Amino acid sequence: MDAHLLSNAVVLALLGGLLWALLSARRSRAWRNAGRELLRRRPIALTIFVVYVAIGLLDSVAWVGASAGGVTPGGDTVSLHKPRSAIDRLFPDQRYREKSYSAPLADREFLGGAPLHHPGRHLLGTDILGRDVLYQTLKGARVALLVGGFTTLIVIPLALLFGVVAGYFGGRVDDAIFFLISTLASMPSLLLLIALIMVLGRGPVQVCVALGVTGWVGFARVVRGETLKLRELDYVQAARALGASDTRIVLHHIVPNLMHLVVITFVLTFSGLVLSEAVLSWLGIGIDGSWGRMIDQARDELSRDPIIWWNLV
């Protein structure tokens, strides 16, 4: 399976989940009111969020050259076989490149002063290979979305499964799972992350898996504690007295009552993961094309003279 298909699937699944949540939220009055309140109080934050997701999505709906056989805007044969996303199509990519550095909005090259192909059109300048910085930044949004999305999709089910099972059944099962949790928790997370990536190999999926393996522990602990509490509540006891099976109690009475934790963790881990990816990229084991990798590349420019500052922004 192609890498772009996988990443499309992840992002589309995220979007689907979001849409489903929105649609089901519209049905209840409490949610409608909450939504209206959000729109009124935090319009800017909401707009930024929507734009960000939209950029990620535009870049995710990649398809292999629609005009296969014809001439693409890029105009050469390579681009016919590579999947190009909506954002790629917004920028006429092949011709959009320059030879080397250029400052934002400049119409000449930074060194030497040769005229550019597209004077004044690089809003954030270009990097050493003449790639447009704005274009790369927009591309990075998708990688961030992918890391956050894919990894939380690993973290949350894993943590829920282990946490609920440990908390609900107790006894030996609890001991075993808690042993696993405390073992993982007693290893410094950055070191464990590095070891995992080194062992699994480098690549976007591996990085997400490693982040997932190190990330679920803390949340599983919270879930376990909460389940221990819920298990003793009256309505759970009542369900058990009525003869409900363990599966039914867990799925219908315990998991729904953990959902507020899931939502909070989802949001917090999402942003935390994007930052951890930046740290990993910076150690040279991250994902190509992410924001972290851009920072990593830009740091080399510091020692150079004159400074290519627009790559750092």
Residue from 204, 156, 210 nearest 187 by CA:
210
Residue 203 CB, shortest distance to another protein, in Å, is 15
Q: Which of 258, 247, 256, 262 is nearest to 169 (CA)?
A: 247
Tell me which residue of 79, 120, 83, 72 sits closest to 98, measured CA to CA: 120
**133 vs 155: CA distance, rounded Å:** 32
Decide whether 58 or 207 has the Cβ nearer to another protein. Answer: 207
Measuring CA to CA, how many Å separate 81 from each of 66, 70, 76?
10, 12, 10
Tokens of 286: 């991250």
Supply the minimum distance, in Å, between the C-beta of residue 162 and another protein: 15
Interacting residues toward another protein by CB under 8 A: 179-180, 182-184, 186-188, 190-192, 194-196, 198-200, 275, 278-279, 282-285, 292, 295, 298-299, 302-303, 307, 312
CB of 232 or CB of 305, closer to another protein: 305
Q: Cis link prior to 306 (omega < 30° from 0)? A: yes
Question: At closest approach, how far in Å is the CB of 302 from another protein?
Answer: 6
Nearer to another protein, 61 or 184 (CB): 184
Residue with smaller CB distance to another protein, 108 or 304 = 304
Please spell the DSSP secondary structure of 299-310, one letter per residue.
Answer: HHGGGSSS--GG
Nearer to another protein, 74 or 204 (CB): 204
Judged by beta carbon, residue 206 or residue 257, the one nearer another protein is 206
Q: Which bin fits 201, alpha (ψ -120 to 50), beta or left (φ > 0)?
A: left
Residue 40 has a CB neighbour count (10 Å cut-off) of 8
CB-based contact 76:56 (threshold 8 Å): no
